[in-house]
Structure 1
Amino acid sequence: MNFELSDEQQQLADSVRKYLTANYGFEQRQAVIASVNGQSDAVWRAFSEMGLTAIALPEADGGFGGGAMDLLAVMEACGEALVVEPLLDNIALGGRLVARAGNAAQRAAVLPGLIDGSATLAFAYLEPGRRYELAPETTTARKSGDGWVLDGAKSVVVGAASATRLIVSARTDAGASLFIVDPRTAGVSLNPSRAVDGLRVADVTLVGVALGADALLGTVGGAMPHVDEAVDFATALQCSDAIGAMRHANEATLEYTKTRKQFGVPIASFQVLQHRMVEMLICFEQARSMAVLAASKVDAGGDANARRRAVSAAKVKIADAARQISQESVQLHGGMGMTEELKVSHTFRRLTMIGQRFGDADHHLERYATLD
């Protein structure tokens, strides 16, 4: 497997990292989190101007026809900076579902706005009490004349409060289906909150939400193959996000141990701490290898089970590495490692959330075991 980036991928990653270094420092990030919207419109415009929202979209829809490998280093840079703008949810979930399942009219209505940054999407699929289950059960859609009526609830929808459109999964008589919903539609209510890692999320309630026939995304009952593929794509990108966060945790911890002194010498000179930091580095490199494998498999297409195996294997390793590296980085920083003023404590929270989102290690071990 080729672990090297192409010249174009490296140039894009360097541009993103340079922008984030100049405009998304730790204090700037803290200000964004504390703002009303919890994300920066200026940063989002910059992302769209750099083409990040278009990379994974088909060329026929105005995108660049790229894949997870093209976004690998971009997501690493976002993870390193702990970006809270929902880039992953827009390009890997909402945008991918519209591009894969939508008809020509739906793609023309939604994707140009996503590409130029004027529109944002949020995928509402998780339901209360049904942890990690992708298929909708309690959210239902029934026919009403030529249109549909949605009822139900969705939990922890990332970016929902600021989204111009929601992509909602619902159970119909024919099976799981997807619908494009304007969050301002009568019967839609949002209860926004902030996750522990700073991301803005919302619980969405749907009561008698009347939709037109054109709200149906794809075919009736045909949602699950698209949902399964999009969530695997998003999981692979999230693994890369975790790699960036882990890299920062390792570098910050190494730098701290070189400057923190006990008994008149830097604690980095203590052999027991050297062993722990070496284990952190080995863990990081193993996780990065699995993240690259997952990205390559979701781009390869073809065998869906091969994709699922690679993604689940990567998520298991990423979840374990995220726990080990985040906990070690905090412990080696001592008490200050848990303070609000230190970025490593926020990295700990980011990695903790990544270990849970899209399924924890136990969930993916079980999924891996059931695949042929």
Structure 2
Amino acid sequence: MSAATDDRTESIRMIRDSAGAVAPRGGDTKRVRALRFASPGFDRGMLAQMGELGWIGLAVPEEAGGAGLGMSEAVALAEELGAGLVPEPLVPMMLSARLLAAVGHPALEGVLSGKRVVLTAWQERADTLAVPGTPDGARLFLPMAAGADAFLLPIHQGAGLGLHLQEAKGADLTLEKAMDGGNIGTLRPDLGRASLVAEDVGDMLAIALDEAALVTSGLMLGLMERAFAMTVDYLKTRQQFGRIIGTFQSLQHRAADLKIHIALTRAAVEAGAAALDDGATGAARHAAVSKAKHRAAESGMLVLRQCIQLHGGIGYTDEYDVGLFLRRGMVIMNQFGSAALHRRRFMALAPEDVE
């Protein structure tokens, strides 16, 4: 094993350990439940703590004030936070940090510290990774927008994709409740109230969206793993007809199938992270990300639904924690592209011909 591999393994271990201080696996969900359907839906103090830990700037170069780590560390962190049902908008903040770092804008400092919530309002229609950059086009599906301090607006101008910063105060923002207890915003840009950040961020935005899709895959992996662990524990203790239900062969077969889906998802997500860390660009980067996101979204929902079913009637109640994982999965599964979108993109790239 090379020294570089040893260093990466150690950094991933440290990231997982630090995540445990914020979102311990097997911890209670009192904090998560207390934030559900309340405004802004997350704890700003906790987000600032994440900033202090360097999580928001995990993939931002050191010279720009970030940690200078890679996607392997980022997906490991996301996995732990997904397992802990952390509601703070870490992935959207990481996306904004990448853009601000690329252009050297002073707003980066507030984002990296977690004290200023800046969301990138790039999406204008459902299930896409395209960025039309329409000046007056409504920006959709902004996660946890109730807590935003400002928005980054990609706007097509000439041959480039300019980036503008608009303050949230006084913005035309509509909020809707999400099924996991968070909120989703629709923003109607007002360039008269926005300032130009950079003339062209098109290339960087494409990279940042791929990274966000991959990190979201890590979140789904964490949800799957924790819900499955809860389900296995339930199967080992619940009795029916005088027997532990985990001894029923049909349930053992279903659990084994779910474990295979989790293993395949982990393999795809970790391979995608390794590809990006090794410098994959263009079609090779897109293919690696889409393979991971497709697998995480499709297998993730299969596993989460099956975990509910294996719990029986209690799994469908809001009071029982396993349902929280399904609700969170339903909210994030299509963020940065659905399974169908990434499957189409992967096939279109003819990855067997991509070096």
TM-score by length of 1: 0.87
Q: Please show how residues 74-113 of structure 1 align to structure 2 within 5 Å.
A: 74-91=77-94, 93-100=95-102, 102=103, 104=104, 106=105, 109-113=106-110
Distance 1:254 1:81 in 2: 17
When residues 63 and 4 of structure 1 are mapped into structure 2, their CA distance, relative to the original with a 3 A threshold, is: closer
Cα shift readout 1:255-291 (whole Å, capped 9, x = no counterpart): 1111111110111000000000011111101100101
Alignment correspondent of 1:192: 175
Which shows bigger deviation, 18-27 or 269-278? 18-27
When residues 211 and 5 of structure 1 are mapped into structure 2, their CA distance, relative to the original with a 3 A threshold, is: closer
Please state how far the C-alpha of 1:43 moved relative to its aligned partner: 1.3
Distance 1:135 1:16 in 2: 32
Alignment correspondent of 2:43: 40
Match for 1:126: what amino acid? Q
Match for 1:132: what amino acid? T
8 Å contact 2:153–2:165 — kept in the other structure? yes
Alignment correspondent of 1:294: 272
Please state how far the C-alpha of 1:113 moved relative to its aligned partner: 1.3
Match for 2:128: what amino acid? Y
Alignment correspondent of 2:349: 371
When residues 134 and 276 of structure 1 are mapped into structure 2, their CA distance, relative to the original with a 3 A threshold, is: same
Please state how far the C-alpha of 1:3 moved relative to its aligned partner: 11
1:216 maps to which of 186, 197, 214? 197
The alignment status of 1:227 with 2:205, answered yes or no, reads: yes
Distance 2:6 2:342 in 1: 24
Match for 1:117: what amino acid? G
Alignment correspondent of 1:258: 236
Alignment correspondent of 2:144: 159
Cα shift readout 1:148-185 (whole Å, capped 9, x = no counterpart): xxx23111111333222211122333353321222226
Distance 1:196 1:370 in 2: 33
When residues 25 and 41 of structure 1 are mapped into structure 2, their CA distance, relative to the original with a 3 A threshold, is: farther
Cα shift readout 1:58-105 (whole Å, capped 9, x = no counterpart): 1112212112112222111110011110011101x11111112x1x3x
8 Å contact 1:51–1:115 — kept in the other structure? yes
Distance 1:111 1:31 in 2: 30
1:180 maps to which of 134, 143, 165? 165
Match for 1:160: what amino acid? A
Distance 2:107 2:191 in 1: 24
1:171 maps to which of 150, 156, 164? 156
Distance 1:282 1:291 in 2: 14
Please state how far the C-alpha of 1:55 moved relative to its aligned partner: 2.0
Distance 1:135 1:336 in 2: 42
Task: Provide the secondary structure at the position in 2 that maps to 1:118.
Answer: coil
Alignment correspondent of 1:132: 128
Which shows bigger deviation, 34-43 or 326-335? 34-43
Distance 1:319 1:266 in 2: 32
Alignment correspondent of 2:353: none
1:115 maps to which of 108, 112, 116? 112
Task: Provide the secondary structure at the position in 2 that maps to 1:193.
Answer: strand
Distance 1:261 1:201 in 2: 41
Distance 1:320 1:74 in 2: 21
Unaligned runs of 5+ in 2: 351-355
8 Å contact 2:25–2:83 — kept in the other structure? no
Alignment correspondent of 1:237: 215
TM-score by length of 2: 0.91
When residues 133 and 115 of structure 1 are mapped into structure 2, their CA distance, relative to the original with a 3 A threshold, is: closer
8 Å contact 1:61–1:112 — kept in the other structure? no
8 Å contact 2:96–2:118 — kept in the other structure? yes
Which shows bigger deviation, 195-204 or 341-350? 195-204
Paired residues, number = 347
Please state how far the C-alpha of 1:368 moved relative to its aligned partner: 1.2
Match for 1:112: what amino acid? E
8 Å contact 1:3–1:292 — kept in the other structure? no
8 Å contact 2:35–2:181 — kept in the other structure? no
1:55 maps to which of 54, 58, 63? 58
Unaligned runs of 5+ in 1: 141-150
Alignment correspondent of 2:186: 203
Cα shift readout 1:229-257 (whole Å, capped 9, x = no counterpart): 11110111111111111111110111111
Sequence identity (%): 28
